[in-house]
Amino acid sequence: MHDHDNPKNSGISRRQMLIAGGAMAAGAALSHFGGLVKHSLAKDGSTEKWPWPYEKLDPAATAAIAYEEWYRVYCGAAVINSVFSQLREKVGEPYLSFPVDSFVFLEGGMTGWGMTCGSNAGAAIVANCIIGPRTAGAHEGHLITTELFEWYSDAMLPIYKPETPKVTVDIVQTNSASPLCHLSVGRWMEKSGYPITSAERKDRCARVAASVAYHLVELLNQWHDGTYQSAGTHSPVKEFGITAQMNCMDCHGGDVPEPPL
């Protein structure tokens, strides 16, 4: 690793950077944060040319697809396919060549381990496939990813309400204070009283996937329009001296270790 500091403080978008001084300016700015970057060019895969062609999508329509797709491939692949299935139709390649369904394993925070919520991981994959990696000179994929994690942690989820819900009881909203599945699902289970195997919990997660897909497309549309400005504030390596969330005491209690500096 290197500095995982959030370069949002530069306050300028990639498009603005390109206007300001060409692609090399973006690369130079990024090298400030990723001191180990040796190459600014991607490998030579046929889909490793960024950004991928993107057409603006309707957030509500995208959310509706994610909700339905959850019941086929679960959170991570549902979010990926909510965007890529539309771009397969509107654009074609390279979306046709992306193996969306391979990402079923993102379910339950990766095969049930409760780590990164699959909706967050799926959204990160979408943003970074379309926009490209920071090592290739684009930083909005990184910024949209970390902003989404923070948005997810702060939001009362799920926001999305399906027109034709598969579960008709009210689904309570909860705040996870974390992008992790275990905390997101656990805090919802605690407040709602529904177990993990319930239809209500499943529908809650389908609605979370839809909520994330909705906001992801809002951010991608801004990026496409050249108006994206990161709202992220979390710079763990700079603030805490370790890769981390923002709420150390949630797990550590009062006994937060001091990292070597």
Which of 29, 82, 98, 219 is close enough to bind its own copies by CB under 8 A? 98
DSSP string, 21-53: H-HHHHHHHHHTT-TT----S----TT-SSSPP
By beta-carbon proximity to its own copies, the closer residue of 19 and 191 is: 191
Site for its own copies in 71-90 (CB under 8 A): 71-75, 77, 81, 85, 88
Site for its own copies in 232-251 (CB under 8 A): 234-237, 241-245, 251
By beta-carbon proximity to its own copies, the closer residue of 20 and 250 is: 250
Site for its own copies in 10-69 (CB under 8 A): 36-39, 42-43, 45-48, 50
Backbone angles phi, psi at 193, to 5 degrees: 80, 0
Shortest separation between residue 174's beta carbon and its own copies, angstroms: 14
H/E element holding 156? strand 156-157
Which of 23, 115, 159, 172 is close enough to bind its own copies by CB under 8 A? 115
Shortest separation between residue 40's beta carbon and its own copies, angstroms: 11
By beta-carbon proximity to its own copies, the closer residue of 20 and 248 is: 248
CA–CA gap between residue 60 and residue 214 (Å, rounded): 6
DSSP letter assigned to residue 8: G
Number of residues engaging its own copies in binding (CB under 8 A): 96
Is residue 80 a contact partner of residue 126, using CB atoms and an 8 Å limit? yes
By beta-carbon proximity to its own copies, the closer residue of 142 and 224 is: 142
Site for its own copies in 143-202 (CB under 8 A): 145-146, 149, 179-182, 185-186, 189-190, 192-197, 201-202
Q: Under the phi-then-psi rule, with left for phi > 0, alpha for psi from -120 to 50, and beta for the rest, what region is 251?
A: alpha
Residue 245 amino acid letter: Q
DSSP letter assigned to residue 174: E
